[in-house]
Amino acid sequence: MSTQDVLKNASTLASYNVLLQVMFRVLTFLLNAFTLRFVSKELIGVVNVRLTLLYSTLVFLSREAFRRACLSGVSGPNHSWRQVINLLWLTLPLGVLWAALLVCVWLWLLEVPDPLTVPYYGPAVVLFALSGVQELLAEPLWVLAQAHMFVRLKVVAESLAMIAKCSMTVVLVVFAREWGLYIFSAAHLVYTGFLVLCYAVYFIRFLGSQEAAKKGFPLHRVGDLLPCRADGEPLVDWTLARLTWSFFKQSFLKQILTEGERYVMTFLNVLSFGDQGVYDIVNNLGSMVARFIFLPIEESFYIFFAKVLERGRDVKSQKQEDVAIAAEVLECLLKLVLVVGLIISVFGYAYSHLALDIYGGSLLSSGAGPTLLRCYSCYVLLLAVNGVTECFVFAAMSQKEVDRYNLVMLALSVSFLFLSYMLTWWAGGVGFIQANCLNMGLRILHSLLYIHRYFQSSQWKPLRGLLPSPLLLLALAVSAVVTALSEGVFCCDSGWLLRLVHIAIGAACLLGVFVAVLLTETQLIQFVRTQLMPQYRKKHT
């Protein structure tokens, strides 16, 4: 396969992955909105935080190191797929060991929920662990599919599995809600079972076919998917096994940093199960904007900055035309995400209560939910700015600077875990968001200092993008006051007519903000029209 073919397939796979993530988010969003009306928030908290953490910990520690090592180890010409398959099957006994250990921890070391509020906790722990072990049965097939760029297989398998899981959940919640955690355990078993079934059926039909022969697939029959020793070679490639061990040692830290909030909630008991459920729902709801709007911008323009700038070189030693373009784009991107983030922060304050009431009813809107979402709306602004500043910094940094920054990130992550515990003990679920804001603020400060030093000796000042026009600030301030007063008068316990009045007032204020943007941020409007909109039109054609 040529380099261009690899690049094309990788791009296609990335596109499918984006669509898959969007679909998962939308389905999860709708499923949570539905189940919230039938089950308690304590049940949601145990499922979405504790049991999901058990499952993610099990599968991550069992397979992540093998995936990274095997996918990087098969890129060269000197490898044996027989040895790779043998190594990958070690994920199964490793998963069984992790399942036994984690089940013991989850059952005997952690606080057990009240059986009247959250029934069948013990069986649910065992079934979630079993679902993780079941998913590991497909691990050799998953690596084969990824290595040979079977781009549609993953999408079809995970889509069918997710649809089956959602359907099972809805049916059991409506007709057998007394089953408690059995509902979500059964749905998760169906999800992992469908994944394994889809991969198995595909490879059973694919192996030995004309298509496999045409592609030069290295395996020829179903028996080749099972572990066995080939003549004249060791059972596994020991170089690959040592690489796996290196990745395995890193996977502990990565998992802790990735799921830090859930580990704090699970092991330190800083929030009740009900508060955990509300926090998880608000977190998923608030992060949708960041994932759908800011993340694509960050990923796309990281590639742009990496191609335009020469890594590790100062401004004067680079092509001045390229530096000028990069500075202009950075300024416009900062202005774009700042404006969007400010709009979300301003209107999120006045409409968080209404949004949660529509989404989850009084279960979410009557407690700490609105306060959490208001704080998360402010956090979104920091997420937006940090995404753009870091994408530039990582594209411009030298390798040594990146390595040093990785140590900074490690220190920030450890401090985040400590702050999460202290602030959550002091302020409840809001403490997690406050810890995130402090952590993100420090990262933004580091990036701003780097960008300032980078352009200090030049004529370009891209950080001016963080200074919105006075008219826009005035429009946002007026909107914040008007919508806050509107919420106090019209929302949210006086019927739908007054709610619609509150929504109409917000729409009018938002229109005023857009007018202020059109009148004062002409450079930003030009950038959006000439750079972003043609890109999106091209995607749709």
- Burial class from Cβ neighbours inside 10 Å (0-12, 13-18, 19+) for residue 295 reads middle
- Tell me the C-alpha distance between 337 and 345, whole Å: 12
Other beta carbons within 10 Å of 123: 13
Spell out a b/e string for 145-177, using b for 16 or more CB atoms within 10 Å of the CB, else e. bbbbbbbebbbebbbebbebbbebbbebbeeee
- What are the pLDDT tens digits along the chain (541 aa)? 443 454 455 445 545 555 665 666 677 777 777 777 788 888 888 998 999 999 999 998 998 888 877 776 554 445 677 788 888 899 999 999 999 999 999 999 998 888 888 889 999 999 999 999 999 999 999 988 887 777 678 878 888 888 888 889 889 988 888 888 999 999 999 999 999 999 999 988 888 788 878 777 777 788 878 887 766 677 777 777 877 777 777 677 667 766 777 888 888 878 888 888 888 888 877 777 666 677 767 766 776 777 777 766 777 777 777 788 888 888 888 998 899 899 999 998 899 888 888 887 777 777 778 888 889 888 888 988 988 888 888 778 776 777 677 677 778 778 888 888 888 888 878 888 888 888 889 889 988 998 888 888 778 888 888 888 899 999 999 999 999 999 888 887 777 888 899 999 999 999 999 999 999 888 888 877 776 654 444 444 4
What's the token pair of residue 111?
């606080």
Other beta carbons within 10 Å of 236: 21
CA distance to 78, 166, 384, 415, per residue, from 439 (Å)? 44, 35, 14, 8
CA distance to 281, 314, 333, 369, 432, per residue, from 275 (Å)? 10, 49, 36, 9, 12
HSE, CB side, 13 Å, CA atoms: give it for residue 203. Answer: 27
- pTM above the 0.85 mark? no
Q: What does the angle CA 238 – CA 241 – CA 245 come to, to the nearest 5 degrees?
A: 140
The per-residue pLDDT for 135 is 94
The per-residue pLDDT for 54 is 95
The per-residue pLDDT for 474 is 95
Rg over alpha carbons for the chain, rounded to the nearest Å, is: 26
- Tell me the C-alpha distance between 22 and 195, whole Å: 19
Residue 237 zone, left/alpha/beta (φ > 0; ψ -120 to 50; rest) = beta
Taken as a whole, the chain contains a residue count of 541
- Tell me the C-alpha distance between 376 and 368, whole Å: 12
- Burial class from Cβ neighbours inside 10 Å (0-12, 13-18, 19+) for residue 207 reads middle
What's the token pair of residue 423?
């602030």
